[in-house]
Amino acid sequence: MRFRKITAVLLSIALSLPAFTILTANAALGDLNNDGTANASDAAALLIEAARLGSTGRSTFTAAQRTAADIDSDGTVNASDAANILVYAASVGSGIFKGTMQNYADRCIAPKKQLATLGKIIYWEYHDYDGNHTNEAFAVVSLGGRDEYYSVYFISDSGTTVCVDAAYPSTYYDYASNDYARFDAYQNKGFFSYDKTGGGSGYSTFLYSVRSGVPYELDISGELQGFYLKNGYFCTTQNDFSKGYHQYPEYRLNYNAQTQQFTLGQKLSDNTAV
């Protein structure tokens, strides 16, 4: 369905384009009309070529041109490559990514392909976590199995992939349809949090960020039950069974910009729904 929508958009763009510039043998990745950038015009031209291949089996691209159009290096030219160009162009336009299409392929597309060989990518949060104007990513990957095991990975701005939390079961949470992993921005920093549960009425929230390009787990990680912004501050809940039943007192989290750590602060309420 997503590619069908992309196809309609790109075909409408293609119809408004001037005559397409013939590619040179040394065309840069994604730059199919040699104008110095990969953008919607290139995505439209790529999609026309993919449609031609699908309907006639014949290509008008040379081998070098097909290489430039094969954004994800899977040996084919298709709507997925066009979609990758559009995502790249949007990321550049919004300032999220700075660099060439090749940089984007090396740092973002290739790591995702590597992770996809391990399992299904459930979450992919690609942002500038340490405020240095380059992006990193955290990903949650479903490894399958009877109890649906997951692993969490960090992907550096150069595309290096590191497992930060290996194979944990999450029998009671459906990551594919619920918001149990998320990105939050705060004071020029990005934070990635995700929840674990073994069942029952409580759960634990784990919290990561990046410092000078290196991922770190915050000291309070695993002691949280939720991590969310409220009235300009991050908050969490704790477990309280003192009255003979499960209560969830809510606390404000205090942030130290120097240590880049959160600590448990003022109690805000005795019981908050989680």
Q: Is 107 in contact with 87 (CB distance < 8 Å)?
A: no
| pLDDT value for 274 | 52
What is the identity of the amino acid at 3? F
* pLDDT (0 to 100) of residue 186: 94
Residue 111 maps to a domain = yes
Please state, for a pLDDT cut of 90, what percent of the chain lies above it.
42
Q: Which range has the worst mean pLDDT, 83-92, 204-213, 249-258?
A: 83-92
Between 50-54, 95-99, 270-274, the lowest mean confidence (pLDDT) is in: 270-274
| pLDDT tens digits along 80-132 | 999 999 989 988 888 878 889 999 898 888 898 889 888 889 899 999 999 98
Question: Which pLDDT does position 22 carry in this prediction?
Answer: 45
Question: Residue 230 falls within a domain, yes or no?
Answer: no
Q: Is residue 79 part of a domain?
A: yes
- Asked whether residue 1 carries a pLDDT value surpassing 60, the answer given is no
Phi and psi of 266, rounded to 5°? -65, 140
Q: Judge whether residue 136 has pLDDT over 60.
A: yes
Any domain includes 272: no
SS3 for the chain, per residue?
A: CHHHHHHHHHHHHHHCCCCCCCCCCCCCCCCCCCCCCCCHHHHHHHHHHHHHHHHHCCCCCCHHHHHHHCCCCCCCCCHHHHHHHHHHHHHHHCCCCCCCHHHHHHHHHHHHHHHHCCCEEEEEEEECCCCCCCCEEEEEEEEECCCCEEEEEEECCCCCEEEEEEEEECCCCCCCCCCCEEEEEECCEEEEEEEECCCCCCCEEEEEEEECCEEEECCCCCCEEEEEEECCEEEEECCECCCCCCECCEEEEEEECCCCEEEEEEEEECCCCC
Confirm whether 72 is domain-assigned.
Answer: yes
The number of distinct structural domains making up the chain is 1
Predicted TM-score (pTM) of the model is: 0.76
Q: Is the pLDDT of residue 2 over 60?
A: no
pLDDT score recorded for residue 253: 97
> Are the beta carbons of 210 and 216 closer than 8 angstroms?
yes
What residues make up the domain containing 89?
Answer: 1-117
With respect to residue 84, please indicate whether it lies within any of the assigned structural domains: yes
Task: Say yes or no to pLDDT of 3 above 70.
Answer: no
On whether residue 232 sits in a domain, the answer given is no
Name the pLDDT band for 146 (thresholds 50, 70, 90): low
Asked if the structure places residue 52 within a domain, the reply is yes
Average of per-residue pLDDT values in the chain:
83
